[in-house]
């Protein structure tokens, strides 16, 4: 039975990933900073017959927290086969308007957290024949947006970090890839005013935004042996939003 760690694994895309990996027969360590939500999720999943799921409350941007997470995961799962670095936040605004604390926070959670999980878990993968790492980047890491400078910069770092990691770790049979969603129909996003959601749906070539379940399927594909030759890939889950030049319809 394979083992996966999913950060941000109790809500949104991460929750869908937690459920999908369980359905596929994996042992899952779901990680989140919200302890109450995590404990509630475990109880719900246990009632549905999923007993190979565990939760750990962790500030994924703090070194010592991730070190303890590593120790707990090794003890509980007896190893690791895949890491889904899904935890992330968003902040808007032009660069000169962005507060320093907001800049630091988004880089801590969206970028530094990947460094920290790699720092502690990659040595195990190297010593034990390999594994897979899947990061949640974004189409906003591949292209620019209006009023999203900090988010674009953070997700852009994730986009390029996966390429560097793929080069460094491929020889150890560790594959590193990203999923790059567009706006996603999570409960949080759908809590926006309807006119905002409608604008995002209309801007998409499919005339709808992606779902958490669709992103989770892409995560699973990249984590599993089905993608055995995929390495350093930034896989858009965007409905084709990323293929447009931005020019008006002729």
DSSP classification of residue 171: G
Instruction: Indicate whether 234 belongs to any domain.
Output: yes
> With pLDDT > 70 as the criterion, what percentage of the chain qualifies?
100
Task: Report the C-alpha gap between 119 and 177 in whole angstroms.
Answer: 17
Query: Residue 147: which CATH number?
Result: 3.40.50.720
Output the pTM of the full model: 0.96
Instruction: Indicate whether 134 belongs to any domain.
Output: yes
Mean pLDDT of 58-65: 98
Instruction: Indicate whether 190 belongs to any domain.
Output: no
54: left (phi over 0), alpha (psi -120 to 50) or beta: beta
Instruction: Indicate whether 79 belongs to any domain.
Output: yes
Instruction: Indicate whether 86 belongs to any domain.
Output: yes
**Number of structural domains the chain divides into:** 1
151 is catalytic: yes
Q: How confident is the prediction for the chain on average, in pLDDT?
A: 97
- Domain interval for residue 167: 3-182+212-240
Instruction: Indicate whether 99 belongs to any domain.
Output: yes
Query: Which residue of the set 56, 120, 151, 220 is catalytic?
Result: 151
Does residue 246 surpass a pLDDT of 90? no
pLDDT confidence of residue 247: 87
Distance of CA 72 to the CA centre of its chain: 21
Does residue 229 surpass a pLDDT of 90? yes
Return all residues near 65 (Cβ < 8 A) that are at least 6 apart: 58, 59
pLDDT classification of 249: cutoffs 50, 70, 90: confident
């Amino acid at each position: 039975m394979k083992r996966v760690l999913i950060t941000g694994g109790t809500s949104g895309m991460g929750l869908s990933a937690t459920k999908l990996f369980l359905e596929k027969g994996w042992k899952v360590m779901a990680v989140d900073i919200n302890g109450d939500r995590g404990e509630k999720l475990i109880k719900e999943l246990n009632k549905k017959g999923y007993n190979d799921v565990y939760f750990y409350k962790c500030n994924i941007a703090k070194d010592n927290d991730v070190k303890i997470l590593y120790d707990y995961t090794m003890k509980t799962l007896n190893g690791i086969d895949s890491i889904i670095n899904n935890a992330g936040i968003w902040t808007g605004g032009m660069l000169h308007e962005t507060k320093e604390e907001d800049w630091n926070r988004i880089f801590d959670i969206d970028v530094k957290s990947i460094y920290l999980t790699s720092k502690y878990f990659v040595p195990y993968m190297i010593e034990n024949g390999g594994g897979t790492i899947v990061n949640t980047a974004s189409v906003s890491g591949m292209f620019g947006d209006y009023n999203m400078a900090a988010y674009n910069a953070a997700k852009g770092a994730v986009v390029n970090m996966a390429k560097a990691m793929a080069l460094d770790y491929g020889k150890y049979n560790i594959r590193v890839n990203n999923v790059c969603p567009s706006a996603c129909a999570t409960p949080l996003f759908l809590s926006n005013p309807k006119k905002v959601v409608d604008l995002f749906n209309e801007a998409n070539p499919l005339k709808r935004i992606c779902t958490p379940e669709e992103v989770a399927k892409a995560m699973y594909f990249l984590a599993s042996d089905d993608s055995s030759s995929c390495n350093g890939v930034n896989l858009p889950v965007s409905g084709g939003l990323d293929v447009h030049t931005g020019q008006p319809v002729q």
